[in-house]
Amino acid sequence: MKEKSVAAFILEGLKKEGIDTLFLVPGGMLDPFMSAFGEARIQAITAAHEGGAAFMADGYARARGDFGVCMGIGGPGITNMVTAIASAYTDQSPVLVIGGTIPREWEGLGAVQDSSISGMNDLEFMRPVTAFAAQLPVAPAVPRFLKMSIRAMFGFERRPTFLSIPLFMQEETITADYEPRTSAACPRILDRSVMGKVIDRLKNAVNIVIFVGNGALRSNACAQIQEFMEHYRIPAVTTLHAKGTISEDHPLSFGVFGIGGSLQANDVIMGNRQDPAKTVPPPDVILALGVSLNEQNAVAMGDLNKSGEIIHVDINPGNLEDARYHSLAVLGDVREFLAYLESSGEITRALEENSQKRKPWLENIRGNPRYDSEADRGTDILPMHPARVLVELRKIAPRDTMVVVDSGAHTFFTAHHWTSYGPNQCLVWTNNGPMGYAVAAAIGAKLAHPESPCIAIIGDGGMMMHGMEIQTAARYNTPIVVLVLNNGALGNVYLRARRQNKEEAMGLTRCPVHDWVLFGQSLGAKGRKVEQYDQLPDAFREALSSDGPYIIDARCGRDYNTPNPGESALL
């Protein structure tokens, strides 16, 4: 073991944990780190804003299925990150935040940017939005505190953590080696005491549907779910957060259920009795695997128990407390749950025997429309319709394309009209729903998977928040595509005001129509403005072959309603 600084030890430890890229905005309270990146062989990406750095780290984490790291100075740097870290917390994404704070010797002396307990106290800002928040007490404790920060991200649910390090302590030397995690696997637990009830309810059920949530993705259960579906011919739907976990062109996949989801997903979960010729009864059993049932995922917080009997499997007991969302709650890991079912001869025989009986139900659902309006997908109406723009993009984009979808009306157009073919190919911040993250998060996602095309789908409102991170993509020659669905409005709130005929509110929600291509060019990006559908294919091909960031400013109408809004009061 050789002597090294605390800063060098932390970077070396992160490298051993598989981190090759870190996102930050430099500042005086982080100076000792600045000269240590080269030896650690970690690429440091300087963002335009600390919030952008945190969103980049989150995008990096989600795309690679592990954790990301961001860094900022205490005080304004950390407060700038709070929205991004709160969003990672609510979406259960592991991000390690490293903050540089004033030396202990300066506490209580009125130091500039004092973020210690004598000043703004970063720890109190970060505790509500992290699983672990601490300040390094002494230099020799850094191996233990770094390990605690990383382990805390991977409990029953994944969450961000925060480690604050005083300036002078970053320079102190220690003699120690870092031992990385042996495994980042989800805890493999299952409450077997209720599995007898599960088997009793499944063995007599004919029409069964699997509802796949983000917990299944974290469990690395995607392959097991698909095998289970195919073996027993059981259909599946996903939450928006888990879109693509089951390829959406699989014959047993009916897409996203929830606000903006597919109509066939609605049918398979809730039944459809509106058309007497194509009546679809609700399922006998819904197997909800790793689903956080909430406004987005349960169609405006409806009572899903009206659909069918719900067996809700989740590793977090807090997600199993609301009886509206289950008939039977099972505390456990999704993979363990499926493995237990497969080990039971009684249930496997029943599932196989009933698979043929499910066929008429499935054929009925397939005969119903999948999209809210098929006409929108091929329309020639101008200004351009977002549905047609997304359909044309899907025709051109390679199958392994990742999309990072910002918050706004375009979120629901994408949920409905974009087809995802694999896990972590559609990244959406669904719970906190901040605007503006998509450009920054796409940079992180692209750096995690440089071999895959990456497209940020964002509105003009989001661009006005963190669009400046295009300069970061240009600075580091990161070839992301930024598709701006530019409608001159804050889409969701504008549409709601229009439906309520509130002219003053409509005025507040319209935006100046900016030229985002000129904006991007001023920051080092290429781009093209598109106003006609026949211009889209060439624009998409040019963007996807670009060796740097490329902006497509797609001029869309603001008055097109979002698809399949359900009963949400917010759409």
Confidence at residue 301, expressed as pLDDT on a 0 to 100 scale: 41
Please count the other Cβ atoms lying within 10 Å of the Cβ belonging to residue 133: 22
Q: Contact, 376 vs 385, CB < 8 A?
A: yes
- Res 211 pLDDT > 80: yes
- Same CATH topology for 194-367 and 375-570: the answer is yes
Bridge partners for 70 per DSSP: 23, 97
The stretch 457-463 carries a mean pLDDT of 97
Confidence at residue 353, expressed as pLDDT on a 0 to 100 scale: 92
The stretch 403-424 carries a mean pLDDT of 96
Tens digits of per-residue pLDDT, 415-424?
999 999 999 9
Confidence at residue 274, expressed as pLDDT on a 0 to 100 scale: 61
- Integer Cα distance of 571 and 561 in angstroms: 9
- Integer Cα distance of 331 and 449 in angstroms: 33
This prediction has a pTM of 0.95
Specify the higher pLDDT residue, 273 or 182.
Answer: 182
- Integer Cα distance of 564 and 260 in angstroms: 5
Tens digits of per-residue pLDDT, 65-112?
999 999 999 999 999 999 999 999 999 999 999 999 987 777 776 777
Confidence at residue 492, expressed as pLDDT on a 0 to 100 scale: 81
Confidence at residue 305, expressed as pLDDT on a 0 to 100 scale: 55
- What tokens appear for 392 in the block? 């044309």
**What does residue 409 show for φ and ψ, rounded to 5 degrees?**
-60, -35
- Polymer length of the chain: 571
Is 3.80.10.10 the CATH classification of the domain at 375-570? no
CATH of 4-174, one of 3.30.499.10, 3.40.50.1980, 3.40.50.12780, 3.40.50.970: 3.40.50.970
The stretch 566-571 carries a mean pLDDT of 53
* DSSP category for residue 140: G
- Integer Cα distance of 455 and 470 in angstroms: 13
- Integer Cα distance of 510 and 494 in angstroms: 7
**DSSP string of 32-49, one letter each residue:** HHHTTHHHHT-EEEE-SS
- What tokens appear for 445 in the block? 């996602």
Which 3 state secondary structure label does DSSP give 290?
A: coil
- Integer Cα distance of 286 and 434 in angstroms: 31
- Res 303 pLDDT > 70: no
Please count the other Cβ atoms lying within 10 Å of the Cβ belonging to residue 223: 10
Q: Contact, 201 vs 351, CB < 8 A?
A: no
Bridge partners for 530 per DSSP: 554
Lowest mean pLDDT among 5-19, 176-190, 301-315, 497-511: 301-315
- Res 302 pLDDT > 60: no
For residue 84, give Cα distances in angstroms to 166, 434, 446: 23, 8, 18
- What tokens appear for 527 in the block? 């781009």
Q: Contact, 48 vs 80, CB < 8 A?
A: no
Please count the other Cβ atoms lying within 10 Å of the Cβ belonging to residue 35: 11
CA nearest to 290, candidates 232, 251, 336, 253: 336
- Integer Cα distance of 305 and 327 in angstroms: 7
- Integer Cα distance of 61 and 67 in angstroms: 4
Bridge partners for 514 per DSSP: none
Lowest mean pLDDT among 172-181, 212-221, 316-325, 455-464: 316-325
**Best mean pLDDT range from 124-133, 260-269, 315-324, 487-496:** 124-133
Confidence at residue 185, expressed as pLDDT on a 0 to 100 scale: 60
The stretch 354-377 carries a mean pLDDT of 92
Distance of CA 260 to the CA centre of its chain: 16
The stretch 480-485 carries a mean pLDDT of 99
Q: Contact, 532 vs 538, CB < 8 A?
A: no
Residue 59: CA atoms inside 13 Å, Cβ hemisphere, count? 33
For tokens 């905005």, name the residue: 25
**What does residue 512 show for φ and ψ, rounded to 5 degrees?**
-60, 140
Lowest mean pLDDT among 18-22, 62-66, 320-324, 457-461: 320-324
- Integer Cα distance of 117 and 104 in angstroms: 10
Confidence at residue 186, expressed as pLDDT on a 0 to 100 scale: 66
Confidence at residue 300, expressed as pLDDT on a 0 to 100 scale: 47
For residue 387, give Cα distances in angstroms to 239, 359, 380: 20, 31, 11
Please count the other Cβ atoms lying within 10 Å of the Cβ belonging to residue 439: 31
- Res 325 pLDDT > 90: no
Domain at 194-367: CATH code: 3.40.50.1220
**DSSP string of 172-198, one letter each residue:** -EEE------S--PPP--B-GGGHHHH
Q: How confident is the model at residue 306 (pLDDT cuts 50, 70, 90)?
A: low
Q: For the chain, what are the domain ranges?
A: 4-174, 194-367, 375-570
For residue 324, give Cα distances in angstroms to 256, 301, 320, 321, 327: 20, 9, 10, 9, 8
- Give the type of residue at 343: S
For residue 491, give Cα distances in angstroms to 411, 412, 509, 510, 515: 10, 11, 8, 8, 18
Tens digits of per-residue pLDDT, 229-279?
999 999 999 999 999 999 999 999 999 998 889 999 999 998 875 665 567
Confidence at residue 16, expressed as pLDDT on a 0 to 100 scale: 96
* Whole-number average pLDDT of the chain: 92
Provide the percentage of residues in the chain whose pLDDT is more than 90.
Answer: 77
- Integer Cα distance of 142 and 165 in angstroms: 9
Specify the higher pLDDT residue, 85 or 186.
Answer: 85
Show the DSSP H helices in 42-118 as ranges: 50-64, 76-90
Judging by DSSP bridges, how do beta strands 3-5 and 173-175 pair with one another? Answer: antiparallel
Please count the other Cβ atoms lying within 10 Å of the Cβ belonging to residue 41: 10
- Supply the Cα-derived Rg of the chain in whole angstroms: 25
